[in-house]
Structure 1
C-alpha cells in the first residue's frame, strides 16, 4: 500500500477535484442560461405546427363561406353551383410538419441566452476535461479505473458529443437543457457517493485493452444517451402533433415548449441514425471485452453479470434496429424499444456495479 501511495501525485489529484467542482459550478450557470433561453425566448413564432396541421380546415371554411357564383340571363337570374375547391386535408402528413425554430423561439433575446448557455457549456467541458486529464496524470494511467473516474469521463464525453453535434448541425440546441441536467445529476452522484481516492489499478486492469475497451464503452454510452434524449422528446412531440391533428388544444406551456422542438419525424430520424451509427462500435466494445477477459482471466466469456448485461444491451439495440426496418415497428413502438435498450445500458452502467455481487468487475470501486 505504501508503494501505491508513493506513485500517486496527490497535488494533481486535488487539482482534478477542484476542476471537477468548478465544472459543476459552470454547468449550473449553463443550466440557468438554458432555462432563460426557453423562458424568455419570443413566442412570436409559436404555433407553426398548429398552422400546418389545421391549414386544410381553414381553407375548407373559407371555401364554404365563399358566395355562390351568379350570372344574369335575359329571362332572369340563374344561380350556378359553388365551384369545387381542392384543399389539403386538416391532418397533414408528418413530412409536412415544420421543425420548430429552436429553444430560443427564433428571436434575438432568446438567441442571446442560448449563446451564453453554449459558451458556459464549452467552459464547463474544458474544466471537466482538465479534471479528467489531471486525474490521469496523478497516477499515470487511463482515468477510468473505477466508477467515479468512469462517471467524470462519461459526462465529459457526453458534453463533447453535444458540442460536436452543435458544430455540425444548426438545430440541436434544444438538447442543451436535458443534457446539462443529466450531467449535473451524474456528477453529483459521482462526487457524493462514488468518489474514490486517486490510486493505482488492480492487476486485472493492467492492460492496453483498458484504453481500448473502456474508452469505446464510454463513447457508446454518451452517444446512446444523446439518442435517448431525442427519443423521449420525440414521444412528447408526437403526442402533441397527434393532439393538434385530432382537433385538440394543448395548453400554453406545452405549445410554447413543443413548438420550439424539431418535428416528431425529425426527432425520430435523428435518434435512429445516432443509434444505428454507434451500434457497430458497441459490438466492437463487447468483442474487445471478451478478448481482454481471455488475457486477464483465461476465458473469453463466462457469463459474468457485466458480460451478460452488455450482451442483453446489444440484443435490445439489435432488436430496435431490426424493428425500424420492419413494417409496423416504426414510430412510438420502436421508440419504446429504444428506451428499453438504453435502460439496459444504464443498468449495466450502474446496477451491475452497485447492486450485483459476485462480479469479476467488482474493482469498480463501489462497495455493496
Structure 2
C-alpha cells in the first residue's frame, strides 16, 4: 500500500520538473556566477531567470528586490536585524506569540542581551491576532514589526496587509514570514506596505537549503552573512546556483497553478475535517472559524494524545505531524498551542494534516479511516474510573 504523505508544511516533495531544471547546474553548468569567463555565463543566466520567477510569484515588478538566502530562517533573521539597523534611535520590536522560532528565538536572544524591548502580541482563542493589543504596542519607539502571513501549525492567516499599514503609520518597518503562504495564497506585494518578506523553496516543491528575502526598494539591508559582493553586496558567499534555479522553477510552476491547486486542496481538507468530526466525538479543529490556509488542518481529540496518534498513523504509512513536542519522555504543548490557550489542546496536543497539490482522494480516505480507528483504540486503553469513564477531564463536544 502506498505511503500517504500529509506533512507538507514541514516540507514538500521536490517536483520532478524542478529536479530536471537543477541537474544541468550540477553537471555541465558548474561555473561560479561571479567569474569573468564563459563558464560563468550559464550560471548567471540561471540565477537571473530564477530571480525573475520568484519576483513574479510574489508580485513585485523589480527582480532586484529578491535576495536569495539559505532558507526561511536566514531570511527571518536578516529581516529583523535590518529592521533594527534601519532605525538606530528605536529599540522596540513587535511580534506575535505564534511566530516561527526563527523570529522568536532571535528576538529573545537580542532582548536578553539588552539590545531591544519586545512586545509579544497574544492571539485570541480562535488563533487570530489580538488586534487591540497590536495597535496598543505600536509607537514611535518601534523599529520593526514581524508578523507571519500564515501559521505553520494551524494554517491561520493574519491580515498582514492591514497590519503593515498600521506599522507604517508609526514609521516602523514591516516584515512578514510568508514561508507557508507562498504558493498557497495569492501574494501581490507591490500593492502592500510590506517592506520585507521571507520565503522558502522547499515549502512549494522546491529544494531544501534555499530561500529568499523580498527587500522593498529603498530599504537598506543589513547583511548578516559577510564576505564577497554576491547578491549585490547584500549576502556574501558563492551562490547555491542549482538550489536557486530549482527555487525559480518551483515558483514558475506554482504561480499559474495556484488558483486551481488551492481550490482542490481546500475541498480535500474540508472533506477530511467533516469526516473526522463526524466519526470522532469530542474532536475539534483549531482555528475553524478563522481564515486559514487551504491545505492545513490541526485536529485535537480529547483523551487521545496527538503524539501517540501521529506515531500510530506513521505505523500505518501515514505521515503527519503534531502540535506538541516530545522531550525527555514528557509531552509539552507547542508555543502555538500554549498561545491559543485551549485547555484540551494544551493537554493532548494537535495532529496537523497539511496537504499539497499531490494529495488525492485516496489519501484522505486512508487518513479518515486510520485516524478514527486509532483514536478509538487509544481511548479504549485510557485509565478508567469506577464509573467506567476515562479519568481524564473532558471538554464538551466540539463537533
Range class of TM-score, shorter chain: under 0.3
Give 1 or 2: higher strand fraction: 2
